[in-house]
Amino acid sequence: MKKIASLLFVSILGGILTLGSYKIFFDDENNPVITQDSTSQHSFIPVSNAPAYGTNADFTAAAEKTVHAVVHVKNVAVFKGPRSMWDLYNNGTAGGRAVQGAGSGVIITPDGYIVTNNHVVDGASEIEVTLNNNETYKAEVIGADPISDIALIKVDANEDLEYIPFGNSDNVKLGEWVLAVGNPFNLKSTVTAGIISAKARNLDPYDRSPQSFIQTDAAINPGNSGGALVNINGELIGINTAITSPSGSYIGYAFAVPSNNARKIVEDIMEYGNVQQGILGIRGGSVDPQTMSELNLKTSQGVLVGDVTSGSGAEQAGIRQNDVIRQIDNVKINKFSDLTGYINTKRPGDQVMVKLDRDGQSKEVRVTLSKRDSYQIPSIGLEVANATSKELKSIGTSYGVKINNTLNENLPKEELVGTIITEINNESVSNIREVEDILEKRRSGDPIVITYIDRSGSKQRMIWR
């Protein structure tokens, strides 16, 4: 009898505990554990593995809004000289041969302004733009920036054109769904989907490039260059520019110029005729384990200031060598491409708040960006700057630009840095703007001939093909 009573007591006690646990964990308004409320901000992966971004997994609206605003760009370049031994012996240099290239472009205004890649229209004698409805227009190049690989072209249409509004590329997040819209392999109006794989990606292994790409796994192939990278709201967040592939075709890595950088370049070209580049006035690089150890740094992220340009905004704000820049305005700076990507959206005279670490202490300073006084010659790896009258006089010339730095490890840095370039492609140069102008009108494939005066006062020539 006692045994039965004990079992009954245990059963009753178990029931009380079970009911109490249910009330505590499932029925208490203050401690909800499971909810089916449709207004919940939590995202759950569906069993079907269908893509989900926030509460909207539908790409059709974004595709429909953007596909009519991405155009096919055909570049016809006429080469006057012989391009083969057959040309040399049969045609000499008479006439010319038209060589066609193709890419994509994005209509950004209803009156026909189109942004594309510089390499899509570089050297073109004629540009033809075909809309998604097969209407064709002749286009003219309004301006270009070879360093960022962005160009602005214009067509005169009979009516307002569909266009894609710019989005804020600073707000894109890793894992966010995106669409790539373009014309790969001359297949018009192609849309592919992927995610943001990385931000502020620098493709230079030596961390010296001013570029800062958005990386995506949306399929991008030859012909997509200059096309649109858009979010699922149909906003332009990047201009598709490059892929990394041993075969030349897509293998999972694609890169786009952020829309904030592209918009700033386009606005500069429309307003000033050229790109207005503001600079902090520092040289430096990303923090690495070696510098952390050597300088006893307490952080592994940021940009280590290696040198401060005399008279620059950075110097006037009190930034010093070995400072570590951690944030600019509201943008975290984890590596050098974070810094260049953000500063490339600014102009001379703009002010930014720089947060930095110095000797283990945090410090914040306001910097007024100065005007860029150097230029990186594309494809060569030479950085040139305006030379002072004293530097020119010291080697007996009244014009030229100074080789400020070598960005190509194959160039003899000790021999070249500090020497004066007097001519590029047999044209005299007096400042970096003239260097840009000469190189911008160079036809694609033409050699670059640089004449410079070495330290002994002798003229030397370098030729790149």
Q: Check pLDDT > 70 for residue 129.
A: yes
Q: Which of 87-91, 116-120, 251-255 comes out lowest in average pLDDT?
A: 87-91
Contact 218, 243 (CB under 8 A): no
Of 419 and 76, more confident: 419
- Across the chain, which distance is largest between two alpha carbons, in Å? 120
Phi-psi region of 57 (alpha: psi -120 to 50; beta: other; left: phi over 0): alpha
Question: Domains of the chain by range and CATH?
Answer: 56-275 (2.40.10.120), 278-371 (2.30.42.10), 374-464 (2.30.42.10)
Of 370 and 26, more confident: 370
Q: Check pLDDT > 80 for residue 154.
A: yes
CA 298 from chain center: how many Å? 30
Q: Check pLDDT > 50 for residue 319.
A: yes
> What's the pLDDT at 206?
54
Give the whole-angstrom CA distance, residue 202 versus residue 58: 31
Q: Check pLDDT > 90 for residue 25.
A: no
Give the whole-angstrom CA distance, residue 200 versus residue 260: 12
Backbone angles phi, psi at 284, to 5 degrees: 180, -165
Confidence label for 37 from pLDDT (cuts 50, 70 and 90): very low
Q: Which of 72, 104, 119, 212 is catalytic?
A: 119
pLDDT (tens digit per residue) in 409-454: 788 888 899 899 999 999 988 888 788 778 877 777 788 999 999 8
Contact 91, 70 (CB under 8 A): no
Please name the residues in contact with 458: beta carbons below 8 A apart, sequence gap of 6 or more: none
> What's the pLDDT at 139?
95
Closest by CA position to 275, among listed 181, 345, 334: 345
Q: Which of 149, 217, 323, 357 is catalytic?
A: 149
CA 181 from chain center: how many Å? 17
Extract the tokens encoding 151: 């160009």
Please name the residues in contact with 146: beta carbons below 8 A apart, sequence gap of 6 or more: 118, 122, 378, 436, 439, 440
Our answer to whether residue 119 is catalytic in this structure is yes
Average pLDDT, the chain: 80
Of 324 and 55, more confident: 324
Q: Check pLDDT > 70 for residue 23.
A: no
Give the whole-angstrom CA distance, residue 358 versus residue 380: 36
Our answer to whether residue 225 is catalytic in this structure is yes
Which amino acid is located at 157 in the chain?
A
- Which pairing describes strands 420-424 and 448-453: parallel, antiparallel, or unpaired? antiparallel
Please name the residues in contact with 326: beta carbons below 8 A apart, sequence gap of 6 or more: 299, 301, 302, 332, 333, 355, 356, 357, 362
pTM (global) more than 0.75: no
What's the Cα-to-Cα distance from 163 to each of 109, 166, 208, 236, rounded to whole Å? 6, 10, 35, 10
Q: Which residues pair with 413 in a beta bridge?
A: none
Q: Which of 148, 197, 225, 337 is catalytic?
A: 225
What's the Cα-to-Cα distance from 212 to each of 27, 77, 323, rounded to whole Å? 52, 29, 22
Confidence label for 208 from pLDDT (cuts 50, 70 and 90): low
Closest by CA position to 169, among listed 253, 241, 230, 224: 230
Of 351 and 282, more confident: 351
**3-class DSSP string for the chain:** CHHHHHHHHHHHHHHHHHHHHHHHHCCCCCCCCCCCCCCCCCCCCCCCCCCCCCCCCCCHHHHHHHHHHEEEEEEEEEECCCCCHHHHHHCCCCCCEEEEEEEEEEECCCCCEEEEEHHHHCCCCEEEEECCCCCEEEEEEEEEECCCCEEEEEECCCCCCCCCCECCHHHCCCCCEEEEEECHHHCCCEEEEEEEEEEEECCCCCCCCCCCEEEECCCCCCCCCCCEEEECCCCEEEEEEEECCCCCCCCCCEEEEEHHHHHHHHHHHHHHCCCCCEECCEEEEECCHHHHHHHCCCCCCCEEEEEECCCCHHHHHCCCCCCEEEEECCEECCCHHHHHHHHCCCCCCCEEEEEEEECCEEEEEEEECEECCEEEECCCCEEEEECCHHHHHHCCCCCCEEEEEECCCCCCHHHHCCCEEEEECCEECCCHHHHHHHHHCCCCCCCEEEEEECCCCCEEEEEEC
> What's the pLDDT at 390?
77
pLDDT (tens digit per residue) in 179-189: 999 999 878 88
Q: Check pLDDT > 90 for residue 283.
A: no
Confidence label for 16 from pLDDT (cuts 50, 70 and 90): very low
Question: Which range, 24-28, 79-83, 410-414, is most confident?
Answer: 410-414
Backbone angles phi, psi at 343, to 5 degrees: -65, -30
